[in-house]
Amino acid sequence: MKTLTDDGKKRKERIVEKVLIQSKKTTLQLHFYIAALPILQKYVKVFQSKEIMIHRLHDQQLESFQSFLVCFVKPEKISGLSAKGLKSIQLNEDQGQFLKIQDMFVGAEVDKIISESSKGDHDISDFLKMAAASYVKCAIHMQAKLPLDNGLLRALSCIDPAARGHTVTAVELKKLTTVHMRHFLVNEEQATVGHEVLMYQVDDKLPEFEGQDIGQWWAKITKLKKYPGLCKVVAAALSIFHGPQVESSFNLMGDIMDPKSSRLNVETFNSLQTVKYTFLSKKTTSVKYFDRPSCKYSEVNLRLCRNLRDAAAKHKKANQIKAEQKKSLQEKLKINTSKKVSKIKAKEKTQQSVEAARQQHVNQQKKEARKRALEGLVESVQKKKKSN
């Protein structure tokens, strides 16, 4: 029979408890995840396509947040709320805005299990409390992290041709061209882009948008040369990449990022990416770029040396602060920092102890053999003396 380490035994106990002893709780949780997680997954899938979707980011995140809230919040409390209202809705405590736990959305399979269970079933009541707490905690996190009331994203949603012809669209496009992205325009273009935005709203001669790629539609508008300033800003907005393109930018760093360096900070990654793109554009390498004819007599790049020292000092200080924060948190939570012995390490330790015991036994046998040999030698010498 295969022996298990302490960690292995605990893991086995957890599996047995979940699958056999608490099978009902496990089934409820799995069906709940199957029902609730697609609501969040839908938001991610929208931006995994290669099509330009930046103009849908604002509306999609509002829709996703509302779809999640409606699972446990009364519909009348969120119906008609603006992005600002959704951002400020109270979620930390129930002030009459939450549904009763038995009315929450938990999925058809969970509802079926609940209907077949008795009213006093503790597993059901514990599960419903867990589901309610999970909904609230996740919604609070989404409310804090999602830029629901972001002015730039709201303005970017108005580059959608389907939104053309409305006052709100004109106002938001004006903000996009004169506030958020005005740095793409020269002074002459800034003076006329406001009028271009208004004319764009009422231009009946523009081609119809029939749901094709928004980039292709704006390419047709750019060729008309009727709205140069507006098209310039829109082109910059459409170049904002997301989804697979973001992932592909990380793949370009494949020769830098590996399993041993997977915890790079975002700032470090940005710097590495900038340096790599610079070398690619110059068609050179770091060795060639910083090459000196003579390592002894050529002039040293003082700025490079200073940057290296500063970077090393900042990295050391950041690691020190991070270690102190981690230690402080561990002490606060009273976490045992001693590392658990893995299965391989435990096996190696056992083998080492067995080998040490065997070696000790061999040494003891050798010692006793030498002792017996000496005693025999002494005895033979004494016999010879007596015979003489």
- Are 118 and 141 contained in the same domain? yes
Residue 169 lies in a domain: yes
Those residues whose C-beta lies under 8 Å from the C-beta of residue 213, and which sit 6 or more positions away, are 51, 52
User: What pLDDT is attached to residue 243?
Assistant: 61
**Local confidence pLDDT in tens for the 388 residues of the chain:** 457 788 887 887 777 776 665 678 888 998 999 999 998 888 887 777 677 888 888 999 999 999 999 999 999 999 888 889 999 999 998 989 999 999 999 999 999 999 988 888 888 999 999 999 999 999 999 999 999 989 999 999 999 998 899 999 999 999 999 999 999 998 989 999 999 999 999 998 998 887 778 888 999 999 999 999 999 999 999 988 766 555 555 555 555 555 555 566 767 777 887 888 888 888 898 888 888 888 888 888 888 889 889 989 998 998 899 899 988 888 888 777 766 657 777 778 888 888 888 888 888 888 888 888 888 888 888 888 777 6
The neighbouring-strand residues paired with 98 are 73
- Are 296 and 388 contained in the same domain? no
User: What pLDDT is attached to residue 339?
Assistant: 64
Quick count: other Cβ atoms within 10 Å of Cβ 246? 10
Residue 338 lies in a domain: no
Domain boundary among 198, 216, 238: 238
- Are 212 and 132 contained in the same domain? no
pTM above 0.75, yes or no: no
Compute CA distances 117 → 28, 30, 120, 128, 387, whole Å: 12, 17, 8, 13, 102
Q: How many domains does the chain have?
A: 4
Domain boundary among 149, 178, 210: 149
Residue 306 lies in a domain: yes
- Are 38 and 128 contained in the same domain? yes
- Are 42 and 138 contained in the same domain? yes
Residue 340 lies in a domain: no
Domain boundary among 333, 355, 378: 333
- Give the Cα separation of 238 and 235 in Å (integer): 5
- Are 177 and 286 contained in the same domain? no
Three-state DSSP class for residue 376? helix
Domain interval for residue 200 = 153-238
User: What pLDDT is attached to residue 384?
Assistant: 80
- Give the Cα separation of 305 and 107 in Å (integer): 61
- Are 185 and 135 contained in the same domain? no
Residue 256 lies in a domain: no
- Are 46 and 111 contained in the same domain? yes
- Give the Cα separation of 29 and 219 in Å (integer): 49
- Are 42 and 126 contained in the same domain? yes
- Are 22 and 134 contained in the same domain? yes
Residue 261 lies in a domain: no
Residue 249 lies in a domain: no
Q: Is residue 73 within 8 Å of 97, Cβ to Cβ?
A: yes
- Are 358 and 385 contained in the same domain? yes
Residue 193 lies in a domain: yes
Q: Is residue 170 within 8 Å of 197, Cβ to Cβ?
A: yes
User: What pLDDT is attached to residue 100?
Assistant: 92
- Give the Cα separation of 383 and 381 in Å (integer): 5
- Give the Cα separation of 347 and 341 in Å (integer): 10
User: What pLDDT is attached to residue 193?
Assistant: 93
- Are 222 and 295 contained in the same domain? no
